[in-house]
Structure 1
Amino acid sequence: MTEAFATKPKPESSRKDVAGRLFVLELSGGRIHSMRPDGSSRKVIVADCHLPDGIAVDVEAGHIYWTNMGVPNLDDGSIERADLDGSNRKVIVPQGVTFTPKQLHLEKRSGKLYWSDREGMRVMRANLDGTDVETLVKTGDGNRGDATKWCVGITVDPKRRQIYWTQKGPDNAGLGRILRAGIDIPEGEDAVSRTDIEVWFDGLPEPIDLELDLASRVLYWTDRGNPPLGNSVNRASIDAPARNGRASELVVRDLMEGIGVALDVPGNRMFVTDLGGSLYSAALDGSEKRVLLSAQGNLTGVAYAEIPSQEN
């Protein structure tokens, strides 16, 4: 592992009063599963979701948030919130406000939820209660079938005040891209015409979800396209300049259409889901890959959280 990607596990003494918990979305069953990081103690905490896709956890407030992608031609996507055990369920962004919301990112310090809206061709955000919905990026209008404009994954770099998102592209067309821009629209510009958008990577098979290791400044993403570059997890330093040979590293292979990715940086591990119904764990460098769950419908988003032991 290169020095730029090195991580140092947190001392065990600082982790003994917390217990890790995974939250996994089952698209086909419309359910949210909660389990230990080894896949044990699994239980369904939310049912009857409308094609759930992205999930985020706010441990401090005791909430989970998730997107319901809905049926693309019906414009019935939404965002919901519940307590960590699935109780007190509430719609915070109702149908008709966002088209097909996909990956969801919680930026706690600013009190904002960020998400990508696929057929809506937008990057959006709102307050944690669903108010003050904004469109930060709009990639197209009218032709919802143009997959090059579909926004899918999302993450935030609060240090540099930037957002990263994926535009998937058609199936296995090699037109997928990862882009970034400022966290706010430049003054005097709008979501359509903003001039600070940078193509960070292009020519990818089908990039989907994003996760950022802020400590090491490394971005991870899943790709659901075909091998040799797809069905994978990849990573790259977000501070490496393009003209000096920015390059990505393929760290996990042999997924069945990879979708969700979550990092436990102190524990030097990642968790990955795929549409084939498997949940995996691996070290951050891709070694020690193992299957935690298999044949569980179609899995989409995954989130990892360290929760005080008495609440786990």
Structure 2
Amino acid sequence: MKSFKCGLAAIVIIATLPRVATAEIIFWTDPAERSGSHFVRRAGPGPGLQTIIGNLRDPRGMAVDSLNDKIYWTEPGLGSISRANFDGSGIEQIVATSSAGGGVALDVSAGKLYWTDGVPGSGLIKRANLDGSVVETIVPSGPFHPAGIALDAVNQKVYWTDLEGHLDGAGRIQRANFDGSNIQTILSGIDEANGLALDPSAGKIYWPDLTTNRIQRANLDGTNVEDIVTGVDDPTTVALDLTAGKIYWTDSQPTPAVSNRIQRANLDGSGIQVIVSGVGVPWGVAVDPTPVPEPIAGIMALIVWGTAVAIVRRTN
């Protein structure tokens, strides 16, 4: 009986070892105008940087469905939204859009896909089921040229950036209820914010400003605007990995290609790192946070198990 208790204790210790590290998979669209070749790429655990989908026509917005291992992207050059598996297989064209389809966001728990249709002067916010069925226009008027889009599923709000178009500080960020009602302008006086990301639990919204070369954030109601990263060459879109407490952004200038990289930092802008550089023209970016065991945890598990086995043998 004594040896049985020792073995059981060891098993419990192994089962409760924490998963304390994350290994992100990063996906991005690459409308590499200079070469005429357009792609979806990924980088992360395993084989490193990969081109997983090619022969696209101006892919832009990118979103990740971590629950079903799917990526979604807008493709204005084709007038569509498509999806595929994480490895690039199983490509499906699911929604027809205008040639100004921009950002895309997912509410996976509700089975909904949202996107901006950014025809200047007559922008729309639309949604559909994740398979592209039941298309609805939820905001039929108001936005001039909507681009970035993000969702607050906790408070049932959709946020979008509106590019005024003249780079004179007349751009804005707006929001509405998921059904399109109660449109509010929460922030004005920005220039060209093509991307948008939310941290609802912390009450923060993040965006890049291409014209002023910075990454900014504010409260969800638009108050307390902060510059968290400055001096970015050409920030285009942003994504958050809230598990790791990181913000990612693409830094791209198609012609001539100057920066063309993906960077990340802590959510307050500290600890800037270059993740990918010198590959095409990164535009839309999305992150799938994948938890993995810390190596030390695996080593400790083996040590504990080995000790337990030795105890069992001695007591027998």
- TM range, normalised to the smaller chain? 0.7 to 0.9
Q: Please list, as runs of the form range in 1=range in 2, the aligned pairs for 1:231-250 lying within 5 A after superposition.
A: 231-239=213-221, 246-250=223-227
SS at match of 1:132: coil
What is the rounded CA distance, in whole Å, between the counterparts of 1:15 and 1:109 in structure 2?
Answer: 25
Question: Residue type matched to 1:265 in 2?
Answer: L
CA distance in structure 2 between the partners assigned to 1:250 and 1:284 by the alignment: 11
Where 2:248 maps in the other structure, the secondary structure is strand
Kindly indicate whether residue 40 of structure 2 is the aligned counterpart of residue 32 of structure 1.
yes
| Residue identity in the other structure for 1:298 | V
- C-alpha separation in 2, matches of 1:295 and 1:286: 22
Greater helix content:
2
Pair member with larger Rg: 2
Deviation at 1:297, TM superposition (A): 2.7
Kindly state the Cα deviation for residue 308 of structure 1 after the two structures are TM-superposed.
6.6
2:275 aligned partner, one-letter code: L
What is the identity, as a one-letter code, of the residue corresponding to 1:301? Answer: G
1:52 aligned residue: 59
AA of the residue aligned to 2:100: T
- Distance in 1 (alpha carbons) for counterparts of 2:179 and 2:19: 35
The answer to whether the 8 Å contact 2:243/2:289 transfers is no
Once the two structures are superposed, what CA deviation does each residue of 1:169-203 show, in whole Å capped at 9, x if it has no partner? 224211110011111144xxxxxxxxx21110011
Partner residue of 1:78?
A: 80
Q: Paired residue for 1:170?
A: 165
From 294, 303, 311, the counterpart of 2:277: 294
Instruction: Give runs of aligned pairs for residues 188-203 of structure 1, distance below 5 A.
Output: 196-203=182-189
Q: Is the 8 A contact 2:262 2:275 kept in 1?
A: yes
Amino acid at match of 1:139: S
Number of the residue aligned with 1:254:
231
Partner residue in 2 for 1:109: 109
Deviation by residue 1:232-287 (Cα, 9 ceiling, x = unmatched): 11111115xx7xxx221011112222112111122121111022311101111111
Q: Does 1:14 align with 2:15?
A: no
User: How many angstroms apart in 1 are the aligned matches of 2:53 and 2:140?
Assistant: 32
SS in 2 for 1:292: strand
SS at match of 2:52: strand
Mapped to 2, the partners of 1:61 and 1:295 lie a distance apart of 31
Matched, 1:216 2:202: yes
Give me the whole-angstrom Cα distance separating, in 1, the residues matched to 2:86 and 2:55: 17
Identity among equivalent pairs (%): 34
Match of 1:63 in 2: 70
Q: How much has 1:296 moved relative to structure 2? A: 2.5
SS in 2 for 1:109: helix
Conservation of the 8 A alpha-carbon contact between 1:54 and 1:102:
yes
3-state SS of paired residue (1:267) = coil
Matches within 5 A, 1:152-171: 152-171=147-166
Query: 1:270-281 maps to which residues of 2 (within 5 A)?
Result: 270-276=247-253, 277-281=260-264
Q: Which amino acid aligns with 2:39?
A: R
- The separation in 1 between residues aligned to 2:280 and 2:49, in whole angstroms, is 15
Partners of 1:265 and 1:33 in 2: how far apart? 22
